[in-house]
Amino acid sequence: MFCLVKRPVALVFSALMLSSALCAGAELQERTIRTYESYRANAEKRFFSRQHTPDAPQSAGIIGRPADEDGIVSIAGGLIHHWIGICFIPGLKLQTAIDVSRNYDAYPSIYKEIMTSRVLTHDADKYRVLIRLKDGEAGVSAVLDVRSTVRYMFIDNAHAFTVSNSEEIREVQRAGTPDEVFLPAGRDSGYLWRADVFTSFAQTADGLYVETETLGLSRGFPPMLGWLIGPIARRLGRKSVVWSLQQFEAASVAAAARGQ
């Protein structure tokens, strides 16, 4: 997921919530899966082909912007939410950021949307993780269990990538109670069906440059209400990617201050 990679979902989760706010159940279609997977593959290819090291000295701050169109791309049977977040953290070292990223047990204390987080398996630089998310933007609340594979790729001492791909997302009803229920994957409220995050880290003399690209697949907007929900979802999508980076930055700066 996301150091950035641990919450691939949380980066777009708030925007996705609104696309189901006024509808009941939804079902993920095979044609929607195929379209999303093709889109994801092309986005990942473009991500790795472009330069991620800044050309000029960076100032502190976080930028969130659409990665394609206006951040939400309509496809048959659903919506793709695609955003980019950019952050420069003065004085931060790459290893500190990676350590924070890999500390999955600490995620609930770093990211407000994460209820629980644990590593299922770990093999060298590949992790399988299970994260339970809860969000409640715009009066809508949902709990999701997201199982993802996260890969870490170290180019050299100053550059690294992480790629997080969701394996399965299950919506949880009555979460935390003895009778909690997992809805069938792809047959639920349609808050979030797929989540992928690509992140690059580039060490500079002055600090660490972080760029993260998030993709999520949700159901479409309710008929006749896209004009109302769309602008709200886009504002929340931008806000979500920025807020995620802010939380990661705070955790990384704190870790650096502790000498970790």
Tell me the per-residue pLDDT of 37-63, one tens digit each, with 9 for 90 and over: 999 999 999 999 988 776 555 666 798
What is the residue-wise DSSP string for 191-210?
Answer: S-SEEEEEEEEEE-SSEEEE
Across residues 129-147, what is the average pLDDT?
81
- pLDDT (0 to 100) of residue 223: 65
Phi and psi at residue 77, to the nearest 5°: 85, 5
Q: Are 144 and 137 in contact (CB under 8 A)?
A: no
Nearest to 33 by CA among 67, 81, 77: 77
Three-state DSSP class for residue 165:
strand
Quote the CA–CA distance of 15 and 129 in Å, as a whole number: 23
Tens of pLDDT, residue by residue over 182-240, are 999 999 988 899 999 999 999 999 999 999 999 999 988 766 555 456 566 777 777 88
Domain 8-257 classification at class level = alpha beta
Q: Are 113 and 13 in contact (CB under 8 A)?
A: yes
64 forms beta bridges with 85
Structure-token match 């705070």, residue found: 250
**Domains of the chain, residue spans:** 8-257
Which pTM does this prediction carry?
A: 0.86
